[in-house]
Structure 1
Amino acid sequence: MREMESDVIIVGGGAAGLAAAIAAAEQGAEVIVFEKANTTGGCANMAMGLLGVETKMQKERLVDCTREGAFQKFMDYTHWRSDARLVKNYIYKSASTIEWLEAMGVKFALPSKYFPGSEATWHIVQPKTGAPGLRAAATMIKAMTDRAEELGVKICLESPIQSLIKDNGEIIGVVAKDKDGEIEAFGSAVIVATGGFGDSPEFINKYTKFEWGKDLFSYRIPGLTGDGISMAWEAGAARDRMDMELVFFAPNTGGYAPIELPFRQPNLFVNLDGERFYDEAVVENPVFSVNAICRQKNRTVFSIIDESIMKQYEKNGLDLINVVTSNISMDDFKQEMNDLIKNGNDVLFIADSIEELAEKTGIDKEGLVKTLNDYNECCKSTDTLFNKNPKYLKPLVGPKFYALKFAPSAYGSLGGIKINYNTEVIDTEDKVIPGLFAAGTDANSVCNPDYVFVLPGNTLGFAVNSGRIAGENAVKYIKENFTE
Structure 2
Amino acid sequence: MADYKTQIVVIAGGPSGLSAAVQAAEDGAEVILLEKSAAIGGAANMGMGPLAIGSHIQKRQMIDLTVEKAYRMIMEYTHYNIDGRLVKRYFEQSAETIEWLEDMGVEFEGAYKYFTKSEATWHIVKTDKGIGPRAASFMNKALYARAQELGVTFLLETPAKKILKDEDGKVCGVVAVNKEGKEIQIECEAAIICTGGAGCNPEFIREQTGYKFGEDMFNFAIPGNVGDGIRMAWEAGADKTPVRIEQAASIEGLDDLPQSIANILLQPNLLVNLDGKRVMDEEQMQNTTFLSNAASHQKHRVLFSIIDSSIAKYYMRNGVDEISMVRFDPDVSDFMEGAKKAAESGKTGLYVADSLEELAEMTGINAENLEKTVDEYNDYCDGTDEEFFKTKKYLRPLTKAPYYAAAIRPGGYGTVGGIRIDENCQCCDSEFTPIPGLFAAGADACNIYDDSYMFLLPGNSMGFAVNTGRIAGMEAVNYIEDED
Give the TM-score of the pair, scaled to structure 2.
0.97
Residues 1:248 and 1:88: Cα distance change in structure 2 (over 3 Å): same
Aligned-pair CA distance for 1:254: 4.6
Letter in structure 2 aligned against 1:248: A
- What corresponds to 2:96 in structure 1? 96
SS of residue matched to 1:106? coil
Query: 1:69: how far off?
Result: 1.3
Q: Distance in 2 between matches of 1:140 and 1:195?
A: 17
Aligned to 2:145: 146
Superposed displacement of residue 287, structure 1: 1.8
1:167 Cα deviation from its structure 2 partner: 1.2
- Specify whether residues 276 and 255 from structure 1 end up closer, same or farther in structure 2 by C-alpha distance, changes over 3 A only: farther
- Matches of 1:253 and 1:307, distance apart in 2: 19
Match of residue 269, structure 2, among 267, 270, 295: 267
State the Cα deviation string for residues 57-101 of structure 1 (Å, max 9, x = none).
111111110111111111111111111110011000000001000
Task: Give 3-state SS (helix, strand or coil) of 2:248's partner.
Answer: strand
1:289 aligned to 2:288?
A: no
State the distance in 2 between where 1:308 and 1:3 align: 69
CA separation in 2, counterparts of 1:204 and 1:336? 34
5+ long unaligned stretches in structure 1: none
The answer to whether structure 1 residue 195 and structure 2 residue 192 are counterparts is no
Equivalenced residue count is 481
1:158 aligned partner: 157
Specify the code of the residue in structure 2 equivalent to 1:397: T
Shift of 1:345: 2.3
Q: Residues 134, 28 of structure 1: CA spacing in aligned structure 2 closer, same or farther, 3 A cutoff? A: same
Aligned counterparts of 2:63 and 2:83: Cα–Cα separation in 1:
26
* Structure 1 range deviating more: 283-292 or 261-270: 283-292
The one of 375, 397, 400 aligned to 1:398:
400
Give the match for residue 366 of structure 1: 368
In structure 1, what is the Cα distance between the partners aligned to 2:256 and 2:144? 28
Higher mean displacement: 86-95 or 330-339: 330-339
Deviation at 1:255, TM superposition (A): 10
1:182 aligns with 2:186: no
8 Å CA contact 1:5, 1:185 repeated in 2: yes
Taking the TM superposition and a 5 Å limit, the aligned residue runs for 1:203-282 are: 203-254=204-255, 258=259, 259-282=261-284
Query: CA separation in 2, counterparts of 1:398 and 1:219?
Result: 36
- Deviation per residue, 1:302-345 (Å, 9 max, x gap): 00011111111111100110111114852565554333211212
Give every structure 1 segment of 4 or more consecutive aligned residues whose post-TM-superposition deviation is greater than 6 Å.
Answer: none
Q: Structure 1 328/306 Cα, relative in aligned 2: closer, same or farther at 3 Å?
A: same
Distance 1:306 1:85 in 2: 49
Do the aligned partners of 1:256 and 1:325 also contact (CA within 8 Å) in 2?
no
Report how far residue 261 of structure 1 moved.
1.2
SS of equivalent to 1:185: strand
Secondary structure at the aligned position of 2:437 is classed as strand
SS in 2 for 1:437: strand
Q: Per-residue displacement from partner, 1:231-283 (whole Å, max 9, x unpaired)?
A: 11111110012101001011244599723111000110010011111111111
Amino acid paired to 2:272: V
Q: Specify the SS of the correspondent of 2:163.
A: strand
| Counterpart contact for 2:254–2:350, Cα < 8 Å | no
CA separation of 1:306 and 1:412: change in aligned 2, threshold 3 A? same
2:65 corresponding residue in structure 1? 65
Q: Does 1:111 align with 2:108?
A: no
Distance 1:55 1:160, change over 3 A: same
CA distance in 1, matches of 2:376, 2:349: 25
| Unaligned segments of structure 2, at least 5 residues | none
Q: Does 1:476 align with 2:458?
A: no
Instruction: Identify the residue that residue 443 of structure 2 maps to in structure 1.
Output: 441
- Give the match for residue 357 of structure 1: 359
Percent of aligned positions with the same letter in both sequences?
A: 47
